Amino acid sequence: MNAVKNIRTLTLDELTEYFLSIGDKKFRAKQVWEWIWKKHARSFEDMTNLSKELRENLSKNYSFPALKHDLSQYSSDGTIKSRFKTIDGNLVEGVLIPVEDRQTACVSSQVGCSLSCKFCATGFMERKRNLTFDEIYDEAAMLNEMAEKTYGKKLSNIVFMGMGEPLLNYKNVLKAIERITAPDGLGIGARRITVSTSGISKMIRQLGDDGVKFNLALSLHAANDKKRSELMPINETNNIQSLIEALNYFYNKTKNDITFEYILFKNENDSLKDADDLIKIYRQVPCHLINVIEYNPIENADFEKPEKESTQKFMDYLAAHRVNVRLRISRGKDIDAACGQLANKDLEKVI
C-alpha cells in the first residue's frame, strides 16, 4: 500500500484538480492553499471554515507532516531558542534574535550536520537527514509567530545559520525560500534572507546559475588552506582558491551581497599575519562585509576567545586597510543559542 502524499507538495493547480475530481468547487483549492501557506495551518483540523466531512476526506487522501513546537528557552538578552520536532521524532533548533528594529530568525536546514567543523557543536552530531522544504518553512513561520507574540513585530530577516549545511540540502532550501518570499507565504523579501555556507564551490556556482535573489555568507574562519582545513575538513575538497573563483562567479551572475564570517580563536587565527591573509582574500572577492565573530565555547572543543584588546587590534588593522568590517556580538550565549552552539542539548527554563 502506497503512503498518502504530503499535501504541501501539491501545486495550487494540483489542489484544484483534486477538488474538481471529487465534485467540489474550484475555490476550495484556494481556501486550503491559504490555510497551508498564508494562515500557517499545521493540521487539517486547523482549517475551520471547511466542513468536518471535507477535512476527514483530506486526511484520508493526504498527509500533513508539519513540524511541531517542542520547547522554548529565553535568554536574558531577549533571544529565544526553540526546539522543533519532526513527524518522525527528530529534533532541530531555531533561534529568534531581536535587535533594535530587526527581528531575525536563524533557521536550520538539516537534522545534525556531516561537515564536522571543529568549533561547532552541531558538527559533533550525526547528520540524520535533510529537512524538507515545508519543515524549513514551518520553522520560519513559527519563529515569525513568536516574534509577533513576544515583541509585537513580524520577522524582518532570516538567516540560514542554524543546524546543517544549507547547500547540501539545496533543493529543499531553495523551495523553502520560494515559499517564504511568496506573497501568499510569509512575504519576506529575498534581500532580507542570507544563506550561510561552509563553502561548497560547486553549489555556490549553482546558486549563480539559478539566479537566486538572496544574499550569501561564507564561513571562512581562516585565511590559508592549512589552518582552514584543520578547522573545517570541507576545505580539503573545496580550498580557498576554488571558493574565491566560485564566489566571483556567483556575484557576476547575481550581484547579490557576499559576506565573510570569521570567528576569532585565540592564538589560532587572530594574528596580524592572519589579518593580512584575510585582506588578500577580501580584495579578490566582491565582499560586502567581513563579520568578525566572537567565539562561543562548546563542550567538545578546546578553543578560546581572544582578549578584547587582541580582538580590537585585529579589527583596527582590517579597518586601517580599507576593509568593511564589523564585530558581531553573539546573542543567547546563556542558553546555548549563539553561533556554533546549537546541538539539541537538554533545555532548562523552558515553556
Q: Which residues participate in catalysis according to the annotation?
A: 93, 339
What is the C-alpha to C-alpha distance for residues 246 and 242, in angstroms, rounded to an integer? 6
Q: Which residues pair with 215 in a beta bridge?
A: 194
Q: Burial letters for 86-125: b for 16+ Cβ neighbours within 10 Å, e otherwise? A: beeebbbbbbbbbeeeebbbbbbbbbbbebebbbbbbbbb
What is the C-alpha to C-alpha distance for residues 228 and 232, in angstroms, rounded to an integer? 6
How many residues does this entry show for the chain? Answer: 351
Cell of 153: 513585530
Phi-psi region at 6: left, alpha or beta (left = phi > 0; alpha = psi -120 to 50):
beta
Backbone angles phi, psi at 92, to 5 degrees: -135, 160
Pair 32, 50: CB distance under 8 Å: yes
Task: For residue 79, give Cα distances in angstroms to 76, 121, 331, 343.
Answer: 7, 19, 6, 17
